Structure 1
Amino acid sequence: MAPTSPPTFRRRRLGTALRRLREAKKLTQQAVADAVGVNIDRISRAELGRTKIDVPLLRVLLDEYGVRDQGLRQTLEEMTRNISERGWWHSYASFLTLTFQDFLGLEGDAELMRSWETLVPGRLQTEEYTRLLLAAGQGIVHSTREHLESRVAVRMERQRKLNRPHEIVLSEAAVLGRIGDAGAMKRQITHLREQSDRDDIKLRILPLSCGPHLGLDGAFTIFTFPDGGQLVGLEALLNSFYLEDEDSLRTYNAAFDQIRDLALDEKQSKAFLERAAHTA
């Protein structure tokens, strides 16, 4: 019997993709197991992300599901090969929660992210802003100065590593609020304006005057992966939570569309940041 272990998000994503392909062909797990010559438990555990599968078995399954798209086949093969690959953050693992490590892995695997943010997102923070923000948790969330500085280092390294397309809607409150003194905010706002010119960043500002919207319930990020799968990430003080059921995905995609449509367009947002930097 193949070893069983708690599912990681990478294994779960692969399993979900295989389940979708099987269901699209209207095949039962038993029918697939019989066709490819394995025990049904292996198919079940693979779809739940509780066991690894190898590339030869993956190819047999994709043949059984009639997958001819070479791009999709290659994507799933790469996911299978890299399922247990250590991330760049491994050397910081002792300072990071497992769910935050999952978050870093997910954003590294994604081909697109769409985020609604009420604080300047980590990807666009200056090191100064990051340190001031995290310092609020000194002695509560961060037990030592070393812990805090390690989180700062992770966030800066994350910025250097990450180049995935990212569409961000940011609340005006994040720009008008004060993290540190006026100089620190001026430098952060100027940095935001500069980062908004990047090809992989689409940044819009949502005015406080826009009225009620679905983002008032909290920030979220929608990850879209090369295999077509999606996942919604919700961050809390100590943990992150992930939703992948169809109803949640439909709701959060519609919520992001609503928030984006209420926001300033990219050109207006850049002008807003320029004005905010001058008055900070």
Structure 2
Amino acid sequence: MATVRLVPTVRRRRLGGALRRMRNAAGMSIDATAEAMRWDPSKVSRIENAKAHMPIKDVAPLLTQYGVTDPDVVAALEGLAKDANKTGWWTTYGDVVANGYRDYIGLEEDAESAHIYAQGLIPGLLQIGGYAREVITGIAPHLVPDDVAALAEVRKKRQAILTDGSRPSGPLKLWAVIHESVLHYRSAAHPRLMREQLRHLLDMAELPNVTIQVMSPPAPAHPGMVGPFHVVRFPAPWPTVINLENLRGGYFVEGTDDVREFESAFELIVAAALPVDQSRETIKKIMEEIP
């Protein structure tokens, strides 16, 4: 029988990375770990590199070898091991969802909160279908209409995490700071599109887990002037991840010092933006100016 190659899902990579960090913190080599667990050394390496399955029953014994006994940490890693082989709903869309985007959606699904600075467009979690289709077409003009429609549908499905009370950490807590210039976008093909989009922003801002601020043009200089980014936080013990967007999709920053720098940057952005109530009035005023 042919061997089935495991596809390294984002959850398996997070599990492997966490186990590697814990092994290093314990000062144990791969060989020492393998000997303690009575495994072949290659098994330790494959698990840490997301190329092998980590049996749930082995999580607690392995963590004991690393001196990790906190029941919350053990439970968190057991949960990740349980879900590591699951493929997300987004995989049904095939190659239209790029690998980097798949990874981000996987992280987003497990996240507790997301802090976003948006400089050029409405964040995907707050887009209506028509706006999503138009900006996807503009950003990726090489895509055929069916792929554009599929990606717009993916964005719509992602938004379920804002109201899904069945998630372990509850609905995603979203804090979005959006530059005011984004709100003035006008569609030549659909003149009232932005009125609908801005109305949607106002509606979403009514959710208790959603905070929206507007960065006005007269705002003082702030770190967001360099470019957009996402600060994605998870329940303990998982570390915060930064997502930096670009034309190719984006990439992740996970180093502790780098993460702190972006977290501090977001605090400065929040301080420079309009207060929540004033932001709401600004969105409403721009919406009402659209004929």
- Normalized against structure 1, the TM-score is what? 0.88
From 183, 186, 200, give the equivalent of 1:178. 186
Report the secondary structure of 1:275's partner residue. Answer: helix
Give, as a single letter, the amino acid of the residue that structure 2 aligns with 1:272.
T
Paired residues of 2:117 and 2:176 also in contact (CA < 8 A): yes
Corresponding residue number in structure 1 for 2:281: 271
Moved more, 22-31 or 153-162: 22-31
Alignment of 1:1-280 (within 5 A): 7-118=8-119, 119-137=121-139, 140-142=141-143, 144-162=144-162, 163-180=171-188, 181-226=190-235, 227-280=237-290
| Aligned mates of 1:216, 1:45 — CA distance in 2 | 41
Asked whether the 8 Å contact 1:13–1:229 carries over to 2, the reply is no
**Which letter maps to 1:103?**
Y
- Runs of at least 5 residues in structure 2 that lack an aligned partner in the other structure: 163-170
Distance 1:3 1:222, change over 3 A: farther
Could you say what secondary structure the match of 1:268 adopts? helix
Cα 1:242/1:108, change in 2 over 3 Å: same
Aligned-residue offset at 1:121: 0.7
Q: Note closer, same or farther for the CA distance 1:159–1:207 as it changes in structure 2 (3 Å cut).
A: same
Question: CA offset at residue 243 of structure 1?
Answer: 1.6
Structure 2 contact 59–74 (Cα < 8 Å) conserved: no
Shift, 1:82, TM fit: 1.0
Aligned counterparts of 2:267 and 2:83: Cα–Cα separation in 1: 32
Query: Secondary structure of 1:99's match?
Result: helix
Q: Which residue identity is paired with 2:115?
A: R
TM-score by length of 2: 0.85
Q: Could you tell me how far 1:26 is from its partner in structure 2? A: 4.0
- Residue-by-residue CA offset, 1:40-93 (whole Å, 9 max, x unaligned): 333334333343311122121122233333332222111111112111122212
| Cα separation, 2, equivalents of 1:3 and 1:75 | 27
Q: Structure 1 vs Structure 2: percent identity of aligned residues? A: 28
Alpha-carbon offset, residue 161 of structure 1: 4.6
> How many correspondences in the alignment?
277
Distance, in Å, in 2 between the alignment partners of 1:235 and 1:153 is: 20
Question: What's the secondary structure of 1:208's corresponding residue?
Answer: coil
Greater shift in the superposed pair: 40-49 or 255-264: 40-49
What is the CA–CA distance in structure 2 between the aligned matches of 1:154 and 1:3, rounded to whole Å?
28
Q: Which moved more, 1:179-188 or 1:162-171?
A: 179-188
- 2: CA distance between counterparts of 1:3 and 1:59? 27
RMSD: 2.4
Structure 1 residues 77-122: Cα deviation after superposition (integer angstroms, max 9, x where no partner): 1111111211112221232112111111110011221111121111
Range that drifts further, 96-105 or 181-190: 181-190
Q: Give 2:282's aligned amino acid.
A: F
Whether the 8 Å CA contact 2:9–2:87 is kept in 1: the answer is: no
Q: Distance in 2 between matches of 1:51 and 1:3?
A: 11
